[in-house]
Structure 1
């Protein structure tokens, strides 16, 4: 059962303090990405979705994961490929012979943060499965409309360099994104700091939440 969160009645924490705690937590994982992290968090606070457009290996996926963990949101990742179907994202109704009825099996879109990895590699039909979810916060399947949890954020990635086997995002899809950001490669000094952090394990493995979904809605 999907639980819809509503803002709490208690006084919310000041937004600058809220943002500072999240940014400092994400910086434990991402080195030298304070500017793009700040913009991505601003998009989330504005209730929008974020498109990260950059070459592989720049930390796009890690930024999405670190934000989701820091905000205390559930996280789902979908690798968009040409054979991905709309139902693989939104969910499908499955017939249960024992009861003789159809049961809806939610897809990965029913989460707090959905990472649409390499979104431009899926067909336009599958890309369009996100239009209703991103625009209205709901999914309609077999004539039944189901609300998504709140907050709900889509962070999509795409590689702007390689165009073979990709499908350009239409304007209707791009319009659903509030921000289109580039992460960028680290400097030499930042790479050295990254290697030092990775001596034992990846920092994302020990990263914890610094806030809650309800506090995010308040902010």
Structure 2
């Protein structure tokens, strides 16, 4: 049973709407920021200035009741005092080196650190412990902090190897870019104030604890384990790896996603997060997204190359048999001469009742110019065509069932951005449409074989099957 204080998906959806209101093309970033915070993880926003990174962090702070907020732009000249508070003069008088942390990062619930990789080593070393352990060394003692999540921001990825440990503290790396052309007019027409204040009330501490408790009760399904194993092998083939600590944090993130959607287990669909957890640069994220959609989810438009070539082979064979001349050359020449004469004198061109017989005569002459086939020949062609039609129908049925199952699963997912769900559903729809078109062509070819001229007197010899390649295995 759900915990009493566990927020419903509808309540969290309202918070997401509030978080992203007026922030064009920031739906993914908003979802990942809130999900990361609920899981107690940190989020790095990567993009140029003026892309609403700080605004998103401020709104995230308003999603948590009672959480204090801290924000600072870091430079190489930033001092520890700017982040952790000034030294306490009273403590110095007592020979203690302590800071007054009230109102600074060690007492913040949500913090936004802009240009986070430009800080000096003194700040970065202190941040490592604070981000990972939620503790701050103050003088001779170490104090616990109420930190929920840090939202970091940077215009670019860190190039210095010394920054990699700090970079790894951000489980989620989310690219943000200026709005695209499709949203540019909407950007210009936005009202002056889009603070996102209206909407759902912020999450209470009890609700946050309920989410954490529910996440601990979520287990990994066999599908999720298989997906993670497949991804690990794929990453290894690319010469990349995810640390054990990062895998554990990622599992915790997926458990939080499942718990907040009132699911009892993590499944393979939760690996849609792969680009933002296992990727860093834009090309890595794109490759991971392609792996998930194509190799794991199979939610990309399929081309059905083997089936297309098979359909083309049947169509070509039909054309050959429809246009083949009679085996009796003399009969063909006689029919051709009579057909030419009939057309020259206008037989078959009239539209009155008296012209029906001439048209039949003309059709008969045309039929004499086509090759006839035995019933066994035609039956063999229909049998082979029916086999391929049956294969195609079975594939269509299986794909339609898979598409329906995915659509139903996506309806219950809070965190998957709608544009991703739409893309995956559209990919299946496009694949089904292509299969339907190939099926129609096959049925048309079958009808053509069934209408071939028949001669019962011909030897009952079955033709060689239409040559087809072996279908590619999945």
TM-score band by shorter chain is: 0.7 to 0.9
**Structure of larger gyration radius:** 2
Q: Which residue of 1 aligns with 2:52?
A: 59
Instruction: Report whether the alignment pairs 1:183 with 2:176.
Output: yes
Q: CA deviation at 1:52?
A: 0.8
Q: CA deviation at 1:206?
A: 4.5
Q: CA deviation at 1:100?
A: 4.6
Q: Which residue of 2 aligns with 1:119?
A: 116
Alpha carbons 2:113, 2:151 under 8 Å: kept: yes
Distance between the aligned counterparts of 1:38 and 1:191, measured in 2?
A: 22
Distance between the aligned counterparts of 2:150 and 2:104, measured in 1?
A: 11
TM-score w.r.t. the length of structure 1 is 0.80
Q: Which residue of 2 aligns with 1:105?
A: 100
Q: Which residue of 2 aligns with 1:202?
A: 193
Higher helix fraction (1 or 2): 2
TM-score w.r.t. the length of structure 2 is 0.39
The root-mean-square deviation of aligned C-alpha atoms, in Å, is 2.8
Q: Count the aligned residue pairs.
A: 203
| Higher mean displacement: 88-97 or 64-73 | 88-97
Alpha carbons 1:82, 1:123 under 8 Å: kept: yes
Higher strand fraction (1 or 2): 1
SS in 2 for 1:96: helix
Which of 51, 73, 77 is the equivalent residue of 2:71?
Answer: 77
Distance between the aligned counterparts of 1:55 and 1:185, measured in 2?
A: 8
Which of 125, 128, 131 is the equivalent residue of 2:125?
Answer: 128
SS in 2 for 1:155: strand
Higher relative contact order (CA 8 A, sep 6+): 1
Distance between the aligned counterparts of 1:191 and 1:74, measured in 2?
A: 34
| Higher mean displacement: 110-119 or 68-77 | 68-77
Distance between the aligned counterparts of 2:37 and 2:197, measured in 1?
A: 23
Distance between the aligned counterparts of 1:158 and 1:36, measured in 2?
A: 14
Distance between the aligned counterparts of 2:135 and 2:178, measured in 1?
A: 36
Alpha carbons 2:18, 2:196 under 8 Å: kept: no
Q: Which residue of 1 aligns with 2:137?
A: 140
Instruction: Report whether the alignment pairs 1:216 with 2:212.
Output: no
